[in-house]
Amino acid sequence: MKSGWTGAITTDVEETIKLGEQFADFIEKGDVFGFEGELASGKTTFIKGILKGLNFNKSVTSPTFTLVNEYDAKFPVIHIDCYREDELERWIKLGLNDYFSDENIVIIEWADKMQSLMPDNTFHVHFSHKSVNSREIILAAT
């Protein structure tokens, strides 16, 4: 990930998507992101913006039930959601490590549920509610 992005507070869905688009400018092939935060704190909405910023113009949905969505954007993007599946052995059997490559961008929602399986070079992004519509999205210090 290129340096310079630290985070921001957004006040609505459109701002969260726009911030995700801006974040996409800092992403590089091989990056792994662990998104952590409360339910409905903007993680999937932010990912929609990232994909828009990476020239993906189709529908983006949360892989809450499918566990993994793959998108053919400017770079291959692997979107993983651990909300419903926190059994580490299952992730290993599903081939999680195969997604971590120099060619993919991997974004994992609820990454705190699989911390021990995350690569050392993971960038952690924290999402929190500031008010009913406002969200704080911050890149954690590494």
Answer whether 66's CB lies under 8 Å from 94's CB. Answer: no
Mean pLDDT value across residues 13-35? 96
Give the Cα separation of 119 and 32 in Å (integer): 8
Closest CA to 13 of 60, 55, 54: 60
- How many CA atoms within 13 Å lie on the side-chain side of 41? 17
- Encode pLDDT of 62-114 as tens digits: 998 899 999 999 999 999 999 988 888 888 888 889 999 999 999 999 999 88
Please give the pLDDT value at position 55.
Answer: 97
Give the model confidence (pLDDT) of 27-70 as tens digits: 999 999 999 999 988 999 999 999 999 999 999 999 988 999 99
Residue type, 6: T
Residue written as tokens 């688009």? 21
Confidence check: pLDDT of 13 > 80: yes
Is the pLDDT reported for residue 142 higher than 80? no
Sign of the CA dihedral 138, 2, 57, 63? negative
C-alpha span between 109 and 60 (Å, rounded): 14
Cα-based distances in Å from 43 to 93, 102, 107, 118, 136: 25, 23, 10, 18, 11
Judged against a pLDDT cut of 70, whether residue 138 lies above it is answered with yes
Going by their DSSP bridges, the two strands 32-37 and 123-129 should be labelled as parallel
Domains of the chain: 30-135 (3.40.50.300)
